[in-house]
Amino acid sequence: MKCTKKILAVLASIGFVLMLAAPMWATQLKSPDTVKTALRLLVQVSNDFKRQITNRNFARVPHEYMEYTEAADALRMGIKDEPADFKARVETRLKAAVAAYQKISDMSAKATDPDPLMAEHAKAVTAMNAVFDLFPADMRPDPNLPPPGGRRGGRQ
């Protein structure tokens, strides 16, 4: 009887440890470098959106949207070998983010004032951050860092 209780206690503790470790295993992506690069690209293009709006370069915004969709496709490629439920969660949030940036692109065709575009950009960033929340913190880019390659202001 004592032996059975000890075995059950050991099995319960092993199960508990495995349960705690499961989220850690879930965050082990098959293509972490590709995903990290894609997430970084999403932030960089989002920052480019903001820069174009701030500079009242509204004609450039649709091009930024095209780049954003390319970065979104890169993320899709990075998670293509992940479990279906994870891909579905990412895709749902990614579609919302892409749609938010498309709205900015569409609005830019008639824009004369940056304020409405900046308001929509804030909403788009929130949607993009919802995508980032699905990934481990160490994979998420810092939106305040300059782009790699020493170019402080992004595109020149």
155 CB-near residues (< 8 Å, 6+ apart):
48, 51
Digit-coded pLDDT (tens) for 28-82: 888 899 999 999 999 999 999 999 999 999 999 999 999 999 999 999 999 999 9
Digit-coded pLDDT (tens) for 98-119: 999 999 999 999 999 999 999 9
87 CB-near residues (< 8 Å, 6+ apart):
79, 80
pLDDT given for residue 115 in this prediction:
97
Helices (H), ranges, the chain: 2-26, 32-54, 61-78, 84-108, 114-132
Distance CA(75)–CA(64), nearest Å, equals 17
Digit-coded pLDDT (tens) for 3-36: 666 655 544 555 444 444 444 434 588 889 999 9
Which is it for the CA torsion 6, 7, 8, 13, positive or negative? positive
Domain boundaries, the chain: 1-30, 31-139
% residues pLDDT > 90 (the chain): 67
Class of domain 31-139: mainly alpha
